[in-house]
């Protein structure tokens, strides 16, 4: 099995290595984002807000800061500035201004690099097609210059190169598009969770200060 794959890879020509490099980059991006989204940012926004509010109501500032200081995710960064301004007696408007200003940078941490996977899928497909064209050029070019005995072999090699690069380009592109969809959906889910968590905190502060 491995020998067959290695043979097909070698028959694909130089574009197989280019596509492999693109795939390696895409895999690194996907792994980093998967870890970031599903492990690092898995912090339970709503439950954390409830704990922080309970702690603030008990006037336990030390415990409040300990809860927030445990994580450095975008949500906890936004919650931290909201809590700091709340403790300092800032108005609801000032709290919201601080959150909105910081969210420009913090939410960018969530959205970064995900779109690379869609780009990589398109590049892999196009490189596969480019390899197909060069393979066919090799095939038909051999018909004009090669001996009759060699024409069949050269033609077969060129077609093999064309088909292998096309197949490999699609093999790379399909998983990248699947991963892009999964990560994009998770990205939107995290942003919505952050929005809901911060909105919950702001709503509680508004009710408290009526």
The per-residue pLDDT string of the chain (210 residues; one tens digit each, 9 = 90 and over) reads 666 666 666 766 788 899 999 999 999 999 999 999 988 887 666 677 888 888 877 877 788 888 787 788 898 899 889 888 888 888 889 989 999 999 988 888 899 899 999 999 999 999 999 888 887 777 776 666 666 667 677 777 777 778 888 888 999 999 999 999 999 999 999 999 889 888 888 888 888 776
Asked if residue 4 belongs to a domain, the reply is: no
Q: Does a structural domain hold residue 8? A: no
6 within domain boundaries: no
Which residue range(s) make up the domain with 117? Answer: 14-208
Distance, first Cα to last Cα, the chain: 71
Residue 53 lies in a domain: yes
Number of structural domains found in the chain: 1
Cα angle 29-32-37, degrees, rounded to a multiple of 5: 120
The answer to whether residue 97 sits within a structural domain is yes
Residue 2 lies in a domain: no
Give this prediction's pTM: 0.82
Beta strands in the chain (DSSP E): none
Extract long-range pairs of 99-108: CB within 8 Å, 24+ residues apart.
99/198, 99/202, 102/77, 102/78, 103/74, 103/78, 106/74, 106/77, 106/78, 107/74, 107/191, 107/194
- SS3 track for 35-65: HHHHHHCCCCHHHHHHHHHHHHHCCCHHHHH
Whether 142 is in a domain gets the answer yes
In a domain, 127, yes or no: yes
């Amino acid at each position: 099995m491995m020998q067959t794959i290695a043979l097909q890879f070698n028959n694909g020509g130089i574009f197989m290595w280019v596509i492999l490099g693109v795939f390696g980059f895409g895999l690194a991006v996907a792994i980093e984002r998967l870890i970031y989204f599903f492990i690092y940012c898995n912090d339970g926004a709503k439950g954390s807000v409830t704990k922080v509010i309970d702690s603030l109501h008990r006037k336990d500032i030390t415990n409040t800061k300990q809860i927030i200081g445990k994580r450095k995710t975008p949500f906890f960064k936004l919650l931290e500035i909201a809590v700091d301004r709340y403790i300092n007696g800032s108005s609801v408007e000032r709290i919201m201004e601080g959150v909105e200003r910081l969210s420009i940078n913090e939410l960018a941490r969530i959205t970064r690099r995900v779109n690379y996977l869609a780009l990589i899928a398109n590049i892999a497909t196009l490189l596969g097609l480019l390899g197909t064209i060069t393979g066919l050029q090799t095939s038909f070019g051999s018909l004009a210059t090669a001996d009759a005995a060699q024409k069949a072999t050269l033609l077969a090699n060129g077609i093999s190169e064309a088909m292998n690069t096309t197949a490999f380009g699609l093999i790379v592109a399909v998983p990248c598009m699947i991963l892009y969809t999964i990560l994009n959906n998770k990205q939107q889910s995290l942003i919505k969770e952050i929005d809901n968590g911060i909105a919950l905190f702001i709503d509680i502060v508004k009710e408290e200060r009526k």
